[in-house]
Structure 1
Amino acid sequence: MQTRIDRKYIVDALTASRILQELPANAQVLEINGAREFAYDSVYFDTPKLSSYMLAALGRRNRYKVRTRSYLDTGATYLEVKTEGARAVTVKERIEYPTRDRARLNAEGLAYVGESLTGLLDEDPSRFSPVLTTGYRRTTVFLPESANNPIDARMTIDTSLTWTPMSEFALSSHLPYREGTEYTAPGMVIIETKSGTAPSIADKILWRGGVRPTKISKFATGMAALNPYLPSNKWHRTIARSMQLVPRE
């Protein structure tokens, strides 16, 4: 189980490169076999009523997300359940999961989701189905505790972002977006910092550069960008400024 405060920022590629250059000398970029950027794929599940989405869109307490995450460079897949409680504290739990089942909840997955969401879920877990796939390439930076960094922290930089709707009930027939088509927001980069309640050195560098935290969720904001008929007031500015999605070429 991981408990943390997440802060998210939207920048362009040039700003992301500048932030990396300004990190302290003890910052450590995750490197595996000479590679520093890795491909991820996530499938998000929701009910026909879009219960998970609605909880996020309407700012309800006890929000949750159910997804599989696949690490395409290693072939590993996990089933993850994220919950958000008081003061934006996020708790993520996960189990290893068969990659062949990444777009569905098998018997083990249904049991795990039901157990993880005990007391939060008002529907049977069997009602969950895949609604959205997201893809991106991620660079991960570890920021050790230091005089300027009050606690060990982590920063991720996501590029080449894509969203693929996987269910008709997440879309609107009045719009051009179609199930199974991959969409992207050209030039968009998402930086996320993960630490305790105190801001990390990465947050401070971003703030000095005039970049402030943004309300964005790859799942919920992606759903809202694909279907503006869904309630989405909290992400309206983000969508208008940064998420005019177009088919990926």
Structure 2
Amino acid sequence: MVAEPDANVLLAGIAATVPPVGLEEVPRLMRRVDRKYIVTAPTMAALAAELGDRFAVLRIGARRQFRYTSTYFDTPGLLTFHQHRQDRRRRFKLRTRTYLDGGGRWLELKLNGARGGTDKHRIPYDDAPGRALTREAMEFVRDTLLSELHLVAPETLAPVLSTDYRRVTLVDVAGSARLTCDTGLLCRDGGASAPARRDLVLLESKSADGRALVDKVLRGLGVRPVTVSKYCLGVAALRDLPANRWHPVLRRYLARHPEKRQASLAYSECPRVLASTCRTVS
């Protein structure tokens, strides 16, 4: 039997051969257009060959590949999950992200607004635990949701899911765009977990206008964007919740599906909770 290619090893090899750039040279792109792709290891190798010297790799110290862990917060009725599943025009996700190889911890609030782009707001969170929201954190969430999306923040937000993965970041040397390449994803929910396949890479093209070079190259390779969220995939898989729009990605990307379990009353009451938890301010 032929062993599946290990995408993590492949990316480490690609990163070792690409010219490096420092963190200060990476475009911030807090307001941007995101496109996501899932590619096999051979396609990732072909993409790297096509990009050639037009991309550099983020290097911090001696490292070019970095470990991340994130904890996502949601309401008891999983408001943000269902907003995303229903493709609500205005929605948000809240997480802490810890850079295990340097970079500290941040509290990040990702917003999707009327223009269809992604707007990320964040504050340093080094002095707070990754699975808790401080009073200052809730003030940040309330103020940002009200000012940016005209939404009143939910009263209760608690940790729901954690994700671990490795990332290589490629930077377009000619413009304000970057490509993140994630491998080894593991979604964790209490005692249950769902790993991604080892031979696949989750790519996210991030650019100011949605017309990044890498998107054009991927189209030429026959790769099309997918609708995917690490948080939503993990919640759908581990809690056996409806995920029709993500079903093809779930079947392809996750290495195995966890055992099904009965949804709790809180989740069966989602329509009522959704109607009352987060309201619009006119």
What band does the TM-score fall into relative to the shorter chain? 0.7 to 0.9
1:107 counterpart (106, 121, 135): 135
1:144 and 1:75 mapped to 2: Cα distance? Answer: 22
- By how many angstroms is 1:15 displaced? 1.9
Alignment of 1:116 with 2:128, yes or no, is no
Give deviations 1:8-40, integer Å, cap 9, x for gaps.
001122322321222141311111222210001
Q: Which residue of 2 aligns with 1:152?
A: 176
Contact 1:43 1:67 in 2 (8 A): yes
Q: How many residues align?
A: 226
Alignment of 1:215 with 2:243, yes or no, is no
1:90 and 1:198 mapped to 2: Cα distance? Answer: 11
1:76 counterpart (83, 87, 104): 104
The one-letter amino acid of 1:220's match is C
1:184 and 1:243 mapped to 2: Cα distance? Answer: 6
Alignment of 1:192 with 2:220, yes or no, is no
Give deviations 1:166-200, integer Å, cap 9, x for gaps.
xxxxxxxxxxxxx2333302223101100133421
- Which one is further off, 11-20 or 103-112? 11-20
The one-letter amino acid of 1:234's match is R
Q: Which residue of 2 aligns with 1:8?
A: 36
**Superposition misfits of 4+ residues, deviation over 6 angstroms:** none
SS at match of 2:192: coil
Contact 1:134 1:161 in 2 (8 A): yes
Contact 2:80 2:92 in 1 (8 A): yes
- Taking every aligned residue pair, what percent have the same amino acid on both sides? 40
SS at match of 1:220: helix
Q: Which residue of 2 aligns with 1:245?
A: 256
1:28 counterpart (56, 60, 81): 56
- Which one is further off, 33-42 or 182-191? 182-191
CA RMSD of aligned residues (A): 1.8
- Counting helix residues as a fraction of each chain, which structure ranks higher? 2
Alignment of 1:183 with 2:194, yes or no, is yes
In structure 2, list runs of 5 or more residues that go unmatched: 1-28, 259-282
Contact 1:16 1:157 in 2 (8 A): no
1:237 and 1:72 mapped to 2: Cα distance? Answer: 31
The one-letter amino acid of 1:133's match is S
SS at match of 2:53: coil
The one-letter amino acid of 1:18's match is A
Contact 1:70 1:99 in 2 (8 A): no
- By how many angstroms is 1:109 displaced? 1.0
Change (3 A) 1:201 1:24: farther
Normalised by the size of structure 2, how large is the TM-score? 0.75
In structure 1, list runs of 5 or more residues that go unmatched: 146-150, 166-178
1:103 and 1:122 mapped to 2: Cα distance? Answer: 19
Q: Which residue of 1 aligns with 2:12?
A: none
Q: Which residue of 1 aligns with 2:90?
A: 62
2:74 counterpart (46, 51, 54): 46
Change (3 A) 1:98 1:35: closer
